[in-house]
Chains A and B, each alone.
Chain A
């Protein structure tokens, strides 16, 4: 089993070697090429993906064909569509790989096994769920109230290295602004912060 995922489970569940093997034995790990699709709109996906290496994104496509990125998932992040993974409904979203990516497929059986084996995991998982809800609140608030610059500043705080890993238009899409507006923000920040001497 992959190093990042092992590290994550060690930290959040504190399993013995035996327990680790037991709860992860059935898990599948797969590698995707950049551009490859992990979830298509209309499919039911009963997995949550843990990104061992690489970068995934969760997005929707509006009627006019425009992509709207809900989440980026670099190393050690999870990504799933809960309406599909938890509620079993056809997904409204797409998940694809921005870079060549290795992902661990987590499912309900894994959650049940690891929760049975580890009280620590139950509380960690509870924390992660609330943390995720907090993240979503912040994101909703950002999208309805923040200026383009504030949105960009939150983005670089959350994803410090993604500005070098994804194209500008994807960052703009995630921030709900136009690529031109993102350009203006970065230009303005450089005007204030760049010292030639």
Chain B
């Protein structure tokens, strides 16, 4: 099988606050060339690299806002996030957990540092990824998959703790916990220094890796340091990731959704008309109501 080559290694640019609780690098679509079309179905990736939030009695976060037309995937590495939505749902995303929220036809939600965690403060580290939905499912019923760390299956590489945690899709026969609307492989690989893992993903899938901790070498040639994103070319299937130091790497690979994208703020649809409908529906309360 042909090697999937690294096309570019992309360093993070400037950080910005989302609300007052998330200090993020916007890697997709903020990095040059990483457009929604190029990275489809991954239309947005915000990375909150480790950042210390001092204790706060008033939890920091993002107030009530809507989403329509895609899914938000929150991967918690450090810290805890509490969320509430307009269907009356809510919960806490703990360290190691993944929340896969299907906004689809529309939700209103808010996300804040969990109350008790906020009071103590601490190191916070999270990824939020937006996965696009195909036209046929953009107006489906919203839903949640609250996936705890324990519920996710691992492919064990060694006894020292190197493993690939499968969030969605499949790796070496190990199936991911999250259900997806189009094929999406999302893995969290923990690799001890010197350990390598090999991945085999379809040539046509848009594929990237984000180094969460440590530093890795891909295919023996490309060094990808912490907080950098390695973008793969759309050709070849196999690549290897070797940890230079103890590392954590998020690997994302998905079948492109070849449909037009009309995006405006928290709405990602196929046409401008649908964006206008989204604003209207939000304004007249079709997404429900949620107190600030």
Binding site for B on A (CB under 8 A): 153, 156, 160-161, 163-164, 186-197
Contact = CB atoms under 8 A, between A and B. Distances in A.
Given A191-B289, A194-B289, A160 B284 contact: no
Interface of B: 65-66, 86-87, 141, 264-266, 276, 279-289
Contact of A160 (B65, B86, B276): B276
Contacts of B265: 161, 164
Contacts of A194: 86, 285-289
B264 A190 contact: no
Nearest to A193: B285
B280 A160 contact: yes
A187 B287 CA distance: 11
A163 B283 contact: yes
A161 B288 contact: no
Contacts of B276: 160
Given A156-B283, A164-B265, A164-B266, A197 B141 contact: yes
Contacts of A187: 285, 289
Contacts of A197: 141
A190 B65 contact: no
Nearest to B87: A196
A161 B279 contact: yes
B266 A190 contact: no
A131 to B, nearest CB: 21
13 contacts: A153-B284, A160-B280, A161-B264, A161-B265, A163-B279, A164-B65, A186-B289, A187-B289, A191-B285, A193-B285, A194-B287, A196-B87, A197-B141
A190 B141 contact: no
Contacts of A153: 284
Given A164-B65, A196-B87, A190 B279 contact: no
Given A161-B264, A164-B266, A193 B279 contact: no
Contacts of A156: 279-280, 283-284
B283 A160 contact: yes
Contacts of B288: 190, 194, 196
A42 B239 CA distance: 67
B169 to A, nearest CB: 30
A190 B87 contact: no
A190 B289 contact: yes
Contacts of B284: 153, 156, 189, 193
Contacts of B266: 164
Nearest to A153: B284
A93 to B, nearest CB: 27
Given A196-B87, A197-B141, A163 B285 contact: no
Contacts of B285: 186-194
A196 B281 CA distance: 14
Contacts of A196: 87, 288
B282 A163 contact: yes
Nearest to B292: A168
Nearest to A187: B289
Nearest to B288: A194
Nearest to B66: A164
A119 to B, nearest CB: 33
Contacts of B280: 156, 160
Nearest to B286: A193
B23 to A, nearest CB: 18
Contacts of B86: 190, 194
A156 B281 CA distance: 10
